[in-house]
């Protein structure tokens, strides 16, 4: 039986922390409304204690955006928690999100306290947050470098204190999928009260494994995944929402899981975030990149023209892309050239195509891509014009 995985979008908080990606309050609201169309489960709207502007942006989203849970981030201090609550309390479904380190690296170098003292800070913060809001998420920052038994103890303690969601972050992208999946499975097995909270993960991409680690978590039983549109975020970014969602969708029988995401909104959302943040997408970005459904190899072009399933494991329409693109290069075969000519209104015999393909290759060897104007120029010569006729 499939289980539903909640998609927690932190584009407006962790994503906006990408250098150069700062958003205005109105831009954050525009993206939040698009995230509603995408049908995410939770929107993390910002870090209200960081600035008056971010506080107002979160509050505006809480007031105007309906449907998803609206949350924002707080450190484990009263003033931060108050700022989150004062900004999200207007939402239909508010949540307070608290983060506190759990690794010895953070405990010793950031807090300079003992493990027990830091755990007590987290428990007190959760209890205070629960006095304000019935839905409280607690993140054990740097969990991938934490002592496992201490991590289990922290999780159990904050759930007893009232946390409704416990989030396990790979804050610096240190984890590898097999190890990370085992950690999630061990949490489910070893934390006695874990059934009283939603188990979530938040994976960073420092080693390029954020999506793989997130999917390994889902396979191991995680119920919520934190991610961002286009994978933007601190340093090398976060798990890419579109890749996580389509990974689950395409391999649904393997993960035995599903999401409520409206996948046809993935490309429109990706384009909006790219435009508003000024962070351009790589052409070969999975799922939403310009080349995601573009084919230039003759073998691939022939296969996809015969049946798209030969080389596309999901359709462009599923993610809101324009469609399959046949890119004409020196590696393109006759089938692709004929297909493009027919789309332009030309019909050629096989004999004519053979002659034309030789001229096509001569042009293709001089430039990266043969465009429609090049094909029209070829067809306008006396040799091909006499031998061809319009459809």
Beta-carbon contacts of 159 under 8 Å, excluding residues fewer than 6 positions away, are 166, 191, 193, 194, 196, 197
Q: Are residues 93 and 204 in the same domain?
A: yes
* Position 382 pLDDT exceeds 50: no
What is the CATH number for 93?
3.20.20.70
Residue 307 domain flag: yes
Please indicate, yes or no, whether residues 61 and 123 belong to a single structural domain of this protein: yes
391 has pLDDT over 80:
no
pLDDT at 58 (0 to 100): 98
pLDDT the model gives residue 378: 80
**Residue that wins the pLDDT comparison between 358 and 146:** 146
pLDDT digits (tens, 9 = 90+) for 259-273: 999 999 999 999 999
Q: What is the DSSP string of 134-174?
A: S-EEEEEETGGGS-HHHHHHHHHHHHHHT-SEEEEEETTS-
Mean pLDDT of 73-94: 98
Residue 287 lies in a domain: no
**25 within domain boundaries:** yes
User: For residue 325, what pLDDT is reported?
Assistant: 84
Cα–Cα distance, 278 to 20 (Å, whole number)? 8
Number of domains into which the chain is organized = 2
pLDDT attached to residue 1: 66
158 neighbors 125 (Cβ within 8 angstroms) = no
* CA–CA gap between residue 119 and residue 158 (Å, rounded): 8
Residue 173 and residue 130 share a domain: yes
User: Quick check: is 289 in a domain?
Assistant: no
List beta partners, residue 44.
71
Query: Would you state the pLDDT for residue 365?
Result: 85
Structure tokens of 79?
């003033």
Residue 263 DSSP one-character state? G
- Output helix, strand, coil percentages for the chain, rounded to the nearest 5: 50, 15, 35
125 and 27 part of one domain: yes
Residue 322 belongs to what domain range?
294-390
Q: Long-range contacts of range 154-160, CB-CB < 8 Å, 24 or more positions apart? A: 154/102, 154/119, 154/122, 155/187, 155/191, 155/194, 156/191, 156/192, 156/193, 156/194, 157/119, 157/122, 157/123, 158/122, 158/123, 158/126, 159/191, 159/193, 159/194, 159/196, 159/197, 160/123, 160/193
| Digit-coded pLDDT (tens) for 315-349 | 999 999 988 887 887 888 888 888 888 888 888 88
Do 312 and 273 share a domain, yes or no?
Answer: no
Q: Are residues 301 and 239 in the same domain?
A: no
Are the beta carbons of 271 and 15 closer than 8 angstroms?
no
Distance (Å, whole) CA 286 – CA 241:
11
Q: How confident is the model at residue 351 (pLDDT cuts 50, 70, 90)?
A: confident
Q: Is 325 left (phi over 0), alpha (psi -120 to 50) or beta?
A: beta
Instruction: Express each pLDDT in 17-51 by its tens digit.
Output: 998 898 999 999 999 999 999 999 999 999 999 99
Q: Which pairing describes strands 325-326 and 6-9: parallel, antiparallel, or unpaired?
A: unpaired
Q: Residue 47 and residue 86: Cα distance in Å, rounded?
A: 12
What's the first-to-final CA gap in the chain, in angstroms?
52
Query: In 65-103, which residue ranges form alpha helices assigned H by DSSP?
Result: 78-88
Structural domain contains residue 284: no
Q: Which stretches of 146-287 are assigned E, i.e. beta strand?
A: 165-170, 198-203, 224-227, 257-258
- Is 139 within the bounds of a domain? yes
Based on the domain organization, do 255 and 336 belong to the same domain? no
For residue 343, what pLDDT is reported?
83
Report pLDDT for 297.
Answer: 80
pLDDT at 240 over 90: yes
CB 258 within 8 A of CB 4: yes
Q: How far is CA 17 from CA 11, 302, 312, in A?
A: 9, 43, 34
326 phi and psi, to 5 degrees? -100, 110
Backbone angles phi, psi at 323, to 5 degrees: 155, 180
Asked whether residue 97 falls in the same domain as residue 227, the answer is yes
Assess whether 210 and 156 both reside in one domain. Answer: yes
- Could you tell me if 298 and 251 lie in one domain? no
Asked if 232 and 277 count as a contact pair (C-beta separation under 8 A), the reply is: yes
Is residue 369 pLDDT above 90, yes or no? no
141 and 35 in a common domain:
yes
């Amino acid at each position: 039986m499939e289980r539903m995985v909640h998609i927690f979008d932190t584009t407006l908080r962790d994503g906006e922390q990408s250098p150069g990606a700062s958003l205005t309050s109105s831009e954050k609201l525009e993206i939040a409304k698009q995230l509603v169309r995408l049908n995410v489960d939770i929107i993390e709207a910002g870090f209200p204690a960081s600035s008056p502007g971010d506080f107002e942006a979160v509050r505006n989203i809480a007031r105007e955006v309906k449907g998803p849970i609206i949350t924002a981030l707080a450190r484990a201090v009263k003033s931060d928690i108050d700022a989150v609550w004062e900004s999200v309390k207007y939402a239909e479904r508010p949540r307070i999100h608290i983060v506190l380190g759990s690794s010895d690296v953070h405990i010793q170098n950031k807090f300079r306290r003992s493990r027990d003292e830091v755990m007590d800070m987290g428990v007190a913060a959760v209890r205070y947050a629960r006095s304000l809001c019935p839905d409280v998420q607690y993140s054990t920052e740097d969990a991938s470098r934490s002592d496992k038994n201490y991590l289990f103890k922290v999780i159990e303690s904050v759930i007893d204190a009232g946390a409704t969601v416990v989030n396990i972050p790979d804050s610096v992208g240190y984890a590898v999928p097999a190890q990370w999946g085992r950690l999630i499975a061990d949490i489910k097995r070893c934390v006695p009260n874990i059934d009283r909270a939603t188990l979530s993960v938040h994976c960073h991409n420092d080693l390029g494994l954020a999506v793989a680690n997130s999917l390994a978590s889902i396979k191991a039983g995680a119920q919520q995944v934190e991610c961002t549109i286009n994978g933007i975020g601190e340093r090398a970014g976060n798990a890419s929402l579109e890749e996580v969602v389509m990974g689950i969708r395409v391999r649904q029988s393997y993960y035995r899981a599903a999401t409520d995401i409206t996948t046809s909104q993935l490309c429109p959302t990706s384009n909006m975030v790219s435009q508003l943040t000024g962070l351009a997408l790589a052409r070969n970005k999975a799922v939403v990149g310009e080349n995601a459904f573009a084919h230039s190899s003759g073998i691939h072009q022939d296969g996809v023209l015969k049946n798209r399933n030969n080389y596309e494991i999901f359709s462009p329409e599923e993610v809101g892309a324009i469609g399959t693109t046949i890119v004409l290069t020196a590696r393109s075969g006759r089938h692709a050239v004929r297909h493009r000519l027919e789309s332009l209104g030309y019909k050629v015999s096989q004999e004519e195509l053979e002659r034309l393909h030789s001229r096509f290759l001569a042009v293709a060897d001089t430039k990266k891509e043969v465009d429609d104007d090049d094909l029209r120029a070829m067809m306008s010569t006396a040799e091909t014009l006499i031998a061809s006729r319009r459809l």
